[in-house]
Structure 1
């Protein structure tokens, strides 16, 4: 879950101090919890056979989808979900936290061998950290469940069994999200909440997998053969999620997370056609970072990438979810606004300009150096939707680009807006 490194041989000791401290803390916490549960008592031997079957099912599912998982890890740079938590939670609920920890180690070792080790920048300490985070989550989940159902979830009274399972799911999800989020926050201070803990879709998928894990734990203790019906469901869920991530990766700019230009153009053309049918005004905002080359030359391209990501975050935050935000190329961005007149589009562009000017981005990770000022210039082109001649997207882009050029000529850090032609 940590930022990828360009050095495949990077060691934990070479990581920034906050990352080193967070990773070591989670690793030692996982080891301490396993030792504590071992001291409290060995795993329940009667259920170990069932746990072995669960782990074998998890390995089979991972083996069927490892190619997609490898591609997803190569392309994705945000927290994402794999189906390992299904087996890990199920084994934990069936045989205890020690068995769950062993299951986590086996499944993540297989995942690393099949997918992670072939992915550039996935350092071994990251794989160990992810395993440790799962172990801590499993131990914490069992620690909450055991007082509620000492004999196991299958033996819990029917009126409390749902509460027991919900407590296990909630604890596992919360602890894992906090551990992963803390590690990413230590590595990348510019991450948004979505970048730290994943978006709603990813978290919903994680919760669904934990529900499947809880169901598996109950079913395998009551009717073991029924778990065979869960395997196809887990496989299809994993495969569909992997395909969705690959589609997202193919449509977004990896550096900023915004739409790439090809995808933006296709969606914007569809939006423009819809707007023309309903006589709805549209606007295109073209934005350019002022003196970005100077930032790169003075502070380096890595800091320049941080600036691009910060500006991209501002753009996404200051527009509606239905608006289209893309990276036009280099330090240029473009926004398609539907059902927005010239006045409103200009207000949005001005709000973006002010938010970018308020950014405080320091080249040093410890914040010892002063923030580098970031400014942006924008051109706004609007079409009222009532003209006799259709305005295509290329004309809107050209008009917005011309407005941007005029704004730069007027001194930069400003907005120049107008219609593509005189409104009728």
Structure 2
């Protein structure tokens, strides 16, 4: 007998409506469902066309066993990494999913993905804050599609079966397979990010260099695993140690990132920013060069929190942090001083360059929509004070004080404006 709610509707329907998937913007939800439907269609076609042998099934069991064994060995590390992860998250399963694409029929390669992601969900990810079932399902579908494209590429370039060595052509062909898997997977993720963000940059879509290199490293290991499974199965266990080492090194890097970064914006925290800024100022003093500092404050931020709530206030902080990060160079230092105040140091910039960056940041934030999924998106503004070394003084505190005085002047002049220090 089916349990119903007081309204007479099946209880299960209410549970389905509470899925986090339905809280996504319509365009994102539509793309996610489209990817999943395409994946189901491809898997169904592979199932209809499959002509499996006992050797294929044995190969499937071997790859799944290896993948689960490697995941179990690094389970606690993976769980900690997932807690500290930004998205997208490199989970190292691509070592085994790419190997499956190269050594197994399409339907069994898809089955490997399902088995490994189900194991990761049950053993490592379930219960971790911010990890949702619909995201895991989408990631699994993305991996299945990437496997299918990689296998198609391998067949087209005649690098299958993997036990036939064609010299340099094999190396080039497998490199192309890795690239196809990587690009297919990354394109799907980048599309979701582009659809989710009201404003985005190429840097945001491409992701961090370290994360991309990590994913490429796992794919290289996947091709080696495929070769070993076919040629020297017992030697595959040698992959476990370097794979575990990659897990550990990635975790250490994430700990370092968490210790130096502000959790809400991803910018440097106050202590880390100051330590790096002192070093940059000493370098500028020794080289006889200039640098600029921006102090940025969100206008009427307390009112935003009071009227719209702290969650929208957090969205405003994240939007401001993203605008600042996107509009400066990789060598510039961006930090959050706390509350609604941000600070940027621009080494080697002259007064005109510093002011130009400040105006671009002010305009970007003023034009950004905060929480665009709500009925009435919020728009916030910032006031910015600008000062420069050595004009404002010989020490970091002198330059910060000059920028702070300029910031107060910007607020007194009506807010949503840039004010330069008198010393500039």
TM-score of the aligned structures, taking structure 2 as reference length: 0.85
Report the Cα distance in structure 1 between the residues aligned to 2:356 and 2:20, rounded to whole angstroms.
48
What does residue 3 of structure 2 align with? none
What pairs with 1:271-290 in structure 2 (closer than 5 Å)? 271-290=280-299
Q: How many positions carry a matched residue from both structures?
A: 407
**Cα pair 1:286 1:378 within 8 Å, conserved:** yes
Is contact 1:80–1:198 with CA below 8 Å preserved after alignment?
no
Instruction: State the match for 1:232 in structure 2.
Output: 241
1:374 aligns with 2:350: no
Match for residue 7 of structure 2? none
Shift of 1:87: 0.6
SS of residue in 2 equivalent to 1:334: strand
Q: 1:355 to 1:125 in 2, by over 3 A?
A: closer
Change (3 A) 1:158 1:36: farther
Distance, in Å, in 2 between the alignment partners of 1:363 and 1:89 is 38
Contact kept in structure 2, 1:190 and 1:310, CA below 8 Å: no
User: Is 2:89 the partner of 1:86?
Assistant: no
CA contact (8 A) 2:383 2:407 kept: yes
Tell me the distance in 1 between the aligned counterparts of 2:100 and 2:152. Answer: 14
In structure 2, relative to structure 1, the CA distance for the partners of 1:290 and 1:316 (3 Å cut) is same
In 1, Cα distance between equivalents of 2:75 and 2:204:
24
Give the equivalent residue in structure 1 for 2:138. Answer: 129
Matched, 1:361 2:369: yes
Distance 1:92 1:224 in 2: 16
Q: Deviations over 1:353-380 (max 9, x none)?
A: 33334x24165428x75x6543221112
Q: CA contact under 8 A between 2:60 and 2:100: conserved in structure 1?
A: yes
Query: 1:343 and 1:147, CA in 2 relative to 1: closer, same or farther beyond 3 A?
Result: closer
Q: How far 1:57 sits from its partner (Å)? A: 3.0
Alpha-carbon separation, structure 2, partners of 1:67 and 1:326: 31
Partner SS for 1:155? coil
Equivalent in 150, 164, 170 of residue 155 of structure 1: 164
- Alignment check: 8 A CA contact 1:66 1:115 kept: yes
Q: Which has the higher contact order (CA 8 A, sep 6+)?
A: 1
Normalization by structure 1: what TM-score?
A: 0.85
Q: 2:404 aligns with which of 372, 383, 401?
A: 401
Measure the CA separation in 2 of the matches of 1:198 and 1:283. 27
RMSD across aligned positions (CA): 2.9
Cα 1:66–1:32 shift into 2, 3 Å: same
Is 1:37 the counterpart of 2:37? The answer is no
Unpaired stretches in structure 2, ≥5 consecutive residues: 1-17
Q: CA deviation at 1:160?
A: 3.5
1:274 deviates by 2.6
Q: Which moved more, 1:378-387 or 1:205-214?
A: 378-387
Distance 1:344 1:186 in 2: 32
Contact 1:104 1:134 in 2 (8 A): yes
1:253-268 counterparts in 2 under 5 A? 253-268=262-277
Higher alpha-carbon deviation: 191-200 or 280-289: 191-200
Distance 2:183 2:410 in 1: 48
User: Offset of 1:404 from its aligned partner?
Assistant: 0.9
Aligned structure 1 segments of 4 or more residues deviating by more than 6 angstroms = none
Give the Cα–Cα distance (whole angstroms) in 1 for the partners of residues 64 and 286 of structure 2: 55
1:322, CA displacement in angstroms? 0.9
Q: 1:417 to 1:159 in 2, by over 3 A?
A: closer
More divergent stretch after superposition (184-193 vs 319-328): 184-193
Distance in 2 (CA, whole Å) between partners of 1:37 and 1:385 is: 69
The one of 45, 67, 71 equivalent to 2:76 is 67
SS at match of 2:365: helix
TM-superposed deviation, 1:28: 2.4
